[in-house]
Structure 1
Amino acid sequence: MAKDDTTIKYDGPAGGWGSLRGIARIAGQEGITPGAIATLLEQNKPGGFACVSCAWTKPAEHHPVEFCENGAKATLWELTGRKAGREVFARHSVTELRSFSDYQLEQLGRLTQPMRYHRASDRYVPCSWDEAFGEIGRELRKMDPKKTVFYTSGRASLETAYLWALFARAYGHNNLPDSSNMCHETTSVTLKKVIGSPVGTIVLDDFKHCDAIFFFGQNTGSNSPRFLHVLQAAVRRGCRIVTFNPVRERGLESMINPQEPTAMVSGHETALSCQYHQVKPGGDIAVLLGLCKHVLAADDVARTDGRSVVDRAFIAEHTTGFAEFEVHVRGLDWAEIETVSGLSRAAIEAAGSVYVEANSTIGIYGMGLTQHVHGFENIATYMNLLLMKGNIGRKGAGMSPVRGHSNVQGQRTVGIAEKPELVPLDRLAELYEFEPPRDKGMNTVETCEAILKGDVGAFIGLGGNFLRAIPEQKAMEEAWPRMRMTVQIATKLNRSHLVNGEIAYLLPCLGRSEMDTLTAKPQVVSMEDSLSCVHGSVGKRKPASRQLKSELEIVSRIAQATLPANPKMAWGAWARDTALVRNLIERTYPDQFRDFNARIFTPGGFYRGNAARERQWKTQSGKAEFVTPKMLSATGFESAPGRVSLITMRSNDQFNTTIYGYSDRLRGIEGKRNILLISPREIERHGLTVGETVTLVSDAGDGIDRRVSGLEVLPFDLPDDCVGGYYPELNPLVPLSHHDRQSKTPAYKSVPVRIERQS
């Protein structure tokens, strides 16, 4: 860690020796074995194991080592020698365990046997699988299906996700909230509306042909470090990268590739972003409109010489709404754009010049765009910028949202959706001879609202840490025990397992790296990456416990215990053979999963296709649609004296709610998570001192007291009028009503708060 006179920061590059030391630290902590080394060496390679961490693609021409720092941490975390068996639960009551930190809970180790919560003793006690499945099935049969929720995280395989969704609909509901609701649902809604495809349009090869890459609100260095290989190669051939982010993330400034011995020895860094602009939280709409304004001005100049910048032929043939958008952009005042974005006109025009000069541009974004009250407008305006130059549906150009969990995109592809119009229900009815429910189900926010009202009787979680990831944590934890039944399928203990319904089960499952021993034949599972490519994965490690079952078997056994017999639904056979389930996926989605089993280990994955990439627009108008935003700020709240905008973020030792340790190396922060990052200017303006302890208080104006205390003030390079801190520790400050207006994705990236000094 290095400090200058004002801020805490990290002076080193992403990757390099720091990355190797980070892996070594976790390896020593978890206990590395020959099996773990073998798993890492085949990680993200054809015929091997697909990382459980991020959804970045697995290249056909792989490197000798195809895992990153966070991917290695995730694998070692899964293959730990620690066990959270009956002894742990006999030693600690659930109330005691709630006093543990997220990190301490994870460090108890792998869950080893099914457990039932015993309310009188306040402890989890062992039970048999038959007991668990029997009671879960009996309880579900007694309930109104519409009052049950089947949640899934983004780690479940395509096979498990498909059966999970089928089970829900055969049971009688579409209540299928998932982790996408909390991160990229804004992507699904916006891209579906404006280009007719709910996912990004590029493939890996496009990075070999682009002239510019624009980043908005995505932290590559920590969240998808293998992407850095691609960016390094692009920069070396002359591609220019321009980044907009309130936080200066080292992974988009500079890197050393750990697989280049010369660079490791010499310390030679590759500079990545040629421009890095620290936009205010929520200022992205203003920035994007400023870029569009510069493009129009450049086009005006070019047209005097008979040239053009705006691709008007593409716009005329393939889009609608441009005329209204152009009038709006031309009428915008630069002074207002500067105020809302926090950037100067000159800075925005400098970035705009890179875009104008590039023949082909790729747009990259993450949750820095999606998790705002006006996240829809963020992404739609970004798409406007690309459409202006025809940067959709041709080589080296397109939009690429970078997803989080390894199969969060894929599970939506195979039916995890609360919206019935997104699922081929008629096909399901034909294949399985039942009538699927046609009414809309509940997403994550709607599930929380229903639980708070007492309208949910059962919650079954397929992975994840729902209660820790959501907004309105205090009220949700108070309401949660009013449910009749809660069931959690998991590999390790987390906070969500410690707040229980009247009946509660904790069901341990195999990790993806472990061998499914239900049959003699190794079971293969699959997942879809951020670039719409599908990859196979086979676990080869000995399971942490002989009592573990695969997610697929657990889902199938619960379905068997719940549903009436249906000869078209062979749950017992499906639990034993994932290839049978892939056949079902192919029959349900024949255009996207043709020859699924034959192609499962295609190097680089097989591409399931994207109509927008072919300039086929499956929108309401039949064309790509320009959207004219009615606002410049995405925050959804006004400035007010004393109010600041809170950005929640993840550390370098973290993936979503999983905390691997207390090192945030790439920000220069070690050994702590209860922090408040704030610029020296804001420290002075609020009358604070470095190192003092403060409280953040919600300033949502709804009369609800939300607060997080004990936060250490740390000087950090951030724009004015904002502060930063860690997710999920600061989630209690996020109102449930504070979400994107179109998708209901919680707005974690701009939360209205005030700072209170502690006495």
Structure 2
Amino acid sequence: MADIIANPESEGPSGGWGSVKSIARIYGDTRPPVAVLEALTHQNKPGGVMCVSCAWPKPVNYHPFEFCENGAKATMADLTSARCGPDFWNDHTVTELRDWKDYDLEQTGRLTHPLRYDAGTDRYVEVTWDEAFEKIGDTLKSLPKESVVFYSSGHAGLEASYLYALLARAYGNNNLPQSSNMCHETTSVGLNKVIGSPVGTVIWEDLEKADAFFFFGQNPGSNSPRFLHPLQEAKNRGARIVTFNPVVEQGLVSFVNPQSPVDMLTGHETQISDEYLQVRAGGDIAAMLGLCKVVVEADDRAVAKGSERVLDIAFINEHTTGFDSFIALVRQTGWAEIERESGLIEAAIRRAGEIYIAAERVIGVYGMGLTQHYQGALNVAMVVNLLLLRGNIGREGAGCCPVRGHSNVQGQRTVGIAEKTKLIPMDKLKQLFDFDPPIKDGTTIVDAVKGLMAGKIKAFISLGGNLVRAVPDQKAMQDVWARQDLTVVVSTKLNRTHLFPAKQAYILPCLSRFEMDVQAGGNQSVSTEDSFSHISGSTGKRTPASKLLKSELAIVTGIAKVALDPHPKLKWDAWTGDYSLVRDLIEFTYPKDFKDYNARLFQPGGFYRGNDAHERVWNTEEKKAVFTAPKQLNALSFGDADGRFRLLTMRSNDQFNTTIYGYSDRFRGIEGTRDVVLMSKSDIDAAGLVEGQIVKLVSDFGDGIRRELGGLKVTAHNLPSGTIGAYYPEANVLNAIDHHDELSKTPASKAIPVRIEV
């Protein structure tokens, strides 16, 4: 129950020469052309390419090298010299490839031809684009409209995403789940409920003025390394940083700036976190309630002395509701209960609370460590509670900062990829395209998987992604995925989803964002939205990996032309030839967000589409920001029991989502394998295990279904007692599809109940 600021397993600070060496190793594995270095120098800059990795914002005053280790790895992976053409299938069957590791599939290289699965030979075979589109269209026309799902990962640009959503609605449903269903849908639902915004409220300038950052369940060192630059600048000007996380993430411990010659030559490390509190998995609600209790107690003392209030009472009275009920709960909750549920000692929480009180402007940062819980939305509401106490939303240098993962996962929702009809301006679509959009809500990922299991879903169109590998209940998903009438996956690389083909299965290879997208109107640009709601243009300049590749937008329109009846207002060919026409449609549909879209496409730093909560306009039902009195002090759907552990799934330093670049997790000191279960030394001893022992994890969800993951090496790691860790996506097999956030149905992957078997 002690707070710590060390990670003995780590090979050193984030950034520095470790980052350079890691990039060099991936360069050797992927063997991209020398031109990749030129591509990196223009990455995340006006007129360049927006990174295909995370959604971290693009600053107006950019660095000479505005990319990070992860971004460089993603770029080199996209521009690899390896190719996976039709001849690959001369030597391999689909069934054989199921025994390959995710890393080995990634190393086969870029897909070059459209492919169709041939059940007779158990291989994919080359097919022409026209034939693929025709067969896909025929099958879609024959299926019940509600049985087809149009899924999207967070990669495709805003233009392709808008047309993809239009395709689904013109086809006849709102079955538009997206990868945010598995990560930050909790933000979209939970944050919207309490401040009226489905996205964060901060912008880049706020980072430069904040006096303190409070991190909850977010790991910038591996997931958004460019965040470390403003954090280093913040520390240099005297800002304080407090971190709550079960895992000691090196990016929040220390950082050597690889863009600083002095840092690189001297090895100078910037200590990032002033306080690092290892909260139990699922214990953040109690920890945040403890912080709020420190603030309330300080305010009580101020009132008793007649001194200046600690609470921002003027803000609370004017802008919030629910304050009295929340404060009553804070007062009546004892420290013993807070300590038990959070796994932290009172003194540690008090030190963090004093930092919060001393800071005039605070930014609350969170990631999937909060959102992927049974009470994930309550986690998010507690971050807002803390910020509201001192008016830290809607003013400079303060706000709520969820950090998104994929490069355009937020933007796709903005332009219509959403299963909830209330989020879509259906009247605008009817006016633009002269058809009646469906009014019934579509399916989430969780409901789509359950629909597959029930035999109700007959076809999946996937605009990117590796869905079979990414969802809970992987083994069951593999079986039911293959029972469908049709699967279509738009991809750049081979992945595990391709290895469970339906009765008809197609792999449609697409251009990378780095490659030229030449259409009738010339080389086209696309756009993406970052975590700060800024829109940036992106123009590929590299020669495509194959002459047969199509853009994501051209694939969407190719399917639309054969799956839908001709309609004079659906100008698929014209939109394919000139993406600026699609941007005009987006501007008409969302005029407030996309005013002068084409004219501002390459504005340095991107153009801001605005956020009402940033201006203290609350689009909640109450028309005010909402204090939430938590109904429980943990985020779990289960209680403690002898032999039960809380498993959190983690990403290594050598991966992006389900893409595995290698077997080096240098921040955790793990090399050459991903088959590990991380445990505290005390838990290893208490369980009668020894380091290096091979064990099996078994789900303890309680629904009678046996889920297991074996072959895991017991590895000592600095974790709270009762919390253990294993790698995503391998550990997804242990999570039940019914184990998800109560409001958003985001899978609860950060506290899975498991037992250990030997």
TM range (shorter): over 0.9
**C-alpha distance in 1 between matches for 2:584 and 2:62:** 28
1:306 Cα offset (Å): 2.8
Contact 1:514 1:543 in 2 (8 A): yes
Aligned length, in residue pairs = 752
What residue ranges of structure 1 are gaps of 5+ in the alignment?
A: 1-5
Amino acid at match of 1:165: A
**C-alpha distance in 2 between matches for 1:263 and 1:170:** 55
**C-alpha distance in 1 between matches for 2:8 and 2:708:** 25
Paired residue for 1:466? 467
Contact 2:7 2:250 in 1 (8 A): no
1:297 counterpart SS class? helix
**C-alpha distance in 2 between matches for 1:326 and 1:284:** 18
Paired residue for 2:316? 315
Paired residue for 1:721? 722
2:225 counterpart SS class? coil
Equivalent positions of 1:626-705 (< 5 A) are 626-705=627-706
1:8 Cα offset (Å): 6.0
Amino acid at match of 1:62: Y
**C-alpha distance in 1 between matches for 2:265 and 2:675:** 36
Paired residue for 1:199? 199
Paired residue for 2:3? none
Paired residue for 1:111? 111
Paired residue for 1:241? 241
**C-alpha distance in 2 between matches for 1:113 and 1:87:** 10
1:519 Cα offset (Å): 3.4
Superposed CA deviations along residues 680-726 of structure 1, whole A, max 9, x for unmatched, are: 00000000011110000000111100000000011000000111010
**C-alpha distance in 1 between matches for 2:230 and 2:462:** 35
1:63 Cα offset (Å): 0.4
1:53 counterpart SS class? coil
Superposed CA deviations along residues 628-677 of structure 1, whole A, max 9, x for unmatched, are: 11100102110001000001000000000000000101111111001000
Amino acid at match of 2:127: C
Paired residue for 1:29? 29
Superposed CA deviations along residues 497-549 of structure 1, whole A, max 9, x for unmatched, are: 11011111110000000001233622100000000000000000000000000
Amino acid at match of 2:643: G
Superposed CA deviations along residues 85-105 of structure 1, whole A, max 9, x for unmatched, are: 011112100001111110000
**C-alpha distance in 2 between matches for 1:576 and 1:85:** 27
1:713 counterpart SS class? strand
Paired residue for 1:453? 454
Amino acid at match of 1:633: N
Paired residue for 1:96? 96
Amino acid at match of 2:666: R
**C-alpha distance in 1 between matches for 2:716 and 2:577:** 55
Amino acid at match of 1:152: S
Contact 1:7 1:680 in 2 (8 A): no
Contact 1:371 1:748 in 2 (8 A): yes
**C-alpha distance in 1 between matches for 2:52 and 2:307:** 53
Paired residue for 1:57? 57
**C-alpha distance in 1 between matches for 2:128 and 2:584:** 32
**C-alpha distance in 1 between matches for 2:59 and 2:653:** 24
1:104 counterpart SS class? helix
1:622 counterpart SS class? coil
Contact 1:373 1:636 in 2 (8 A): yes
Cα RMSD (Å):
0.9
**C-alpha distance in 2 between matches for 1:404 and 1:89:** 33
2:730 counterpart SS class? coil
Contact 1:152 1:179 in 2 (8 A): yes
Paired residue for 1:3? none
Paired residue for 1:499? 500
1:417 Cα offset (Å): 0.4
What residue ranges of structure 2 are gaps of 5+ in the alignment?
A: 1-5
Contact 1:8 1:669 in 2 (8 A): no
Equivalent positions of 1:585-600 (< 5 A) are 585-600=586-601
1:305 Cα offset (Å): 2.8
**C-alpha distance in 2 between matches for 1:90 and 1:461:** 26
Amino acid at match of 2:402: P
Superposed CA deviations along residues 606-649 of structure 1, whole A, max 9, x for unmatched, are: 00000001110111011111111110010211000100000100
**C-alpha distance in 1 between matches for 2:414 and 2:640:** 40
Paired residue for 1:624? 625
Equivalent positions of 1:293-372 (< 5 A) are 293-303=293-303, 304-372=305-373
Contact 2:191 2:377 in 1 (8 A): no
Superposed CA deviations along residues 577-616 of structure 1, whole A, max 9, x for unmatched, are: 1111111100100110001001010000000000001110
1:514 counterpart SS class? coil
Which segment is superposed worse, 350-359 or 300-309?
Answer: 300-309
1:482 counterpart SS class? coil
**C-alpha distance in 2 between matches for 1:297 and 1:485:** 60
Equivalent positions of 1:158-197 (< 5 A) are 158-197=158-197
Deviant stretches of 4+, over 3 Å: none
**C-alpha distance in 2 between matches for 1:257 and 1:36:** 22
1:9 counterpart SS class? coil
Equivalent positions of 1:174-573 (< 5 A) are 174-303=174-303, 304-519=305-520, 521-573=522-574
1:434 counterpart SS class? coil
1:364 counterpart SS class? strand
Contact 1:291 1:352 in 2 (8 A): yes
**C-alpha distance in 1 between matches for 2:307 and 2:610:** 37
Paired residue for 1:82? 82
Contact 1:8 1:714 in 2 (8 A): no
Amino acid at match of 2:602: F
**C-alpha distance in 1 between matches for 2:351 and 2:262:** 34
1:7 Cα offset (Å): 8.5
1:738 aligns with 2:729: no
1:573 Cα offset (Å): 1.0
Superposed CA deviations along residues 192-243 of structure 1, whole A, max 9, x for unmatched, are: 1101010000000111111110000001000000110010001100100000
Identity of paired residues, percent? Answer: 58
**C-alpha distance in 2 between matches for 1:540 and 1:34:** 14
**Structure 1 length-normalised TM:** 0.98
Which segment is superposed worse, 520-529 or 50-59?
Answer: 520-529
Amino acid at match of 1:87: D
**C-alpha distance in 1 between matches for 2:253 and 2:8:** 16
**C-alpha distance in 2 between matches for 1:89 and 1:527:** 35
**C-alpha distance in 1 between matches for 2:406 and 2:520:** 28
2:64 counterpart SS class? coil
**Structure 2 length-normalised TM:** 0.99
1:614 aligns with 2:615: yes
**C-alpha distance in 1 between matches for 2:136 and 2:32:** 37
**C-alpha distance in 2 between matches for 1:602 and 1:552:** 23
Contact 1:8 1:715 in 2 (8 A): no
2:523 counterpart SS class? coil
**C-alpha distance in 2 between matches for 1:619 and 1:109:** 47
Contact 2:7 2:248 in 1 (8 A): no
Amino acid at match of 1:415: G
**C-alpha distance in 2 between matches for 1:465 and 1:138:** 25
1:114 Cα offset (Å): 0.4
